[in-house]
Amino acid sequence: MSYRSYSRARGYRSSNYNETRTSSALLLPPDRDILEGLGSSPLQELQRPEASGYKDIKLKDFQYIGSYNWTNSNAPTIIVPGSPPEWRDRTPPFSVPRDSGPRFVDQNGYRMPQLPLLPLFRAVDVIAEEEATDTFDWSTVDFVTDRNSLRKLLRWIQNNDGSTKEFRIDTQLAGKRTVLLNRWEKRTRENADLSIFTYGISFERENTTPAPGCEGSSGHHRVVQYDFDGLKLVVRFEVDACIAAPRATQRQPKPSTSVDDLSNILSGMGVSGSAGANVAADVTKDIATELSVIRAGTEVPQSSLVEMTTRSKNWVHTFDWADAYPQLFLSQTSNHFLAAHARGRFESITKRQVGSPEMKQIEASIQPAFRRLRQALHDIQELVKAHGQRGRLTLVCREGRLEIFERESQESCLPDSVMERFDI
């Protein structure tokens, strides 16, 4: 199954819970041109790497370092650590309505179009402050990226007939070695395609409950770090749901109840303590970038994370694990729920765990692609490093070819105060 058909089938479940309750469509701007802001011709074409060696790629030193939920306020506001929606574990059969109305394609890009990576850094800051750990050493990181960008590169690697859906990834060098991969989408929101019947968003809404402290929020994003065969990656990804633990065993966030507490957080964000005196005790705000932080929600264990997928019962047997498994692997999402339905009436839910023998066989079949991804990341890093900190390179995949363009603007994807963290 192509990336286009797969994406449409799963329905871009990065949904705003409030918005998906209405069937009225939004009047959205036209799609952006994938070449907007780029030079007139590519600098070069990046070649697909060949698989080398037989060593399996394992994710070493895996660690959770941050998480957040977006709120639905007009001003960009995140809840840290936030919490994923909790799985209700309903017993089939049951029915859900057809997907309708608008949904997010890329909520980070929608809410902070100029600085889509910034919430990642803010979440890591707050978690480090709460846990009283040392400041995260960003200078040792090779890539800061969304899981989405890694999956797009994998699809390019695995596809040889030119049918890969076109994509764009903006890059920037931070410090001497760190490559920032910024997600770029033609649209950050879209309306449901009424010419097809999908039920993924409704299934997610009807089978989860917002976690305490996260009511009304939209989209839980988790940030992890790991060693990808010698490359240190910081990866952000969205979580569909979690299997809730008993309340007594859940780790609650440390509350902020004083101006002193606020000053400590704000100083880590490059904002003066005097600014903190004017905001509520449980909210901090980065005045320079207008990103507010609310401290609420609950950290959940990696083993509780759930990825949910829906399919017609007539097509569930054709589920494309070659495309879907990397989504689990690159974020170490532990549980996959595949729900089969007949026109919205769900008759079965197959639950799989990443560590099961079946899933290990799937992973083994994809290992050559992971090895090629490792080589592709190396090639991209060397290219970005060669163009230096003032270089602004963009990867554009069209008709199966991955070309390198130079961006016309010298704007940075992060504030100077954040970029300085990468200096050794």
- Per-residue model confidence (pLDDT) at position 250: 54
Are the C-beta atoms of residues 123 and 66 closer than 8 Å to each other?
yes
Pairing of strands 178-184, 143-146: parallel
pLDDT at 194 over 50: yes
Q: What is the mean pLDDT of residues 186-211?
A: 91
- Per-residue model confidence (pLDDT) at position 5: 33
In tens, the pLDDT along 199-241 reads 999 999 999 999 999 999 999 999 999 999 999 999 999 999 9
Q: What is the mean pLDDT of residues 327-339?
A: 98
Q: φ and ψ at 38, to 5 degrees? A: -110, 160
> How far is CA 66 from each of CA 184, 272, 359, 364, rounded to the nearest angstrom?
22, 23, 27, 29
Domain boundaries, the chain: 3-30+56-422
Output the six-digit token pair for 203.
């299934």
- Per-residue model confidence (pLDDT) at position 283: 64
User: Residue type at 380?
Assistant: I
Output the six-digit token pair for 266.
């704000």
Look at 350 and 16; give whichever has higher pLDDT. Answer: 350
Pairing of strands 231-239, 218-228: antiparallel
Residues 310, 269: Cα–Cα separation, whole Å: 40
Q: Quick one: CA dihedral 415, 186, 377, 44, positive or negative?
A: negative
Q: What is the mean pLDDT of residues 168-182?
A: 98
Residues 6+ apart with CB under 8 A from 362: 321, 325
Please tell me whether the overall predicted TM-score, pTM, comes out greater than 0.95 for this model. Answer: no
Place of tokens 């991804």: 373
Q: Quick one: CA dihedral 415, 416, 418, 419, positive or negative?
A: positive
Place of tokens 């690159």: 330
Query: If we measure between CA atoms, which residue out of 161, 177, 156, 324 comes closest to residue 169?
Result: 156
- Per-residue model confidence (pLDDT) at position 27: 85
Confidence of residue 162 (pLDDT cuts 50, 70, 90): confident
SS3 92: coil
Q: What is the mean pLDDT of residues 260-281?
A: 33
Average pLDDT of the chain? 86
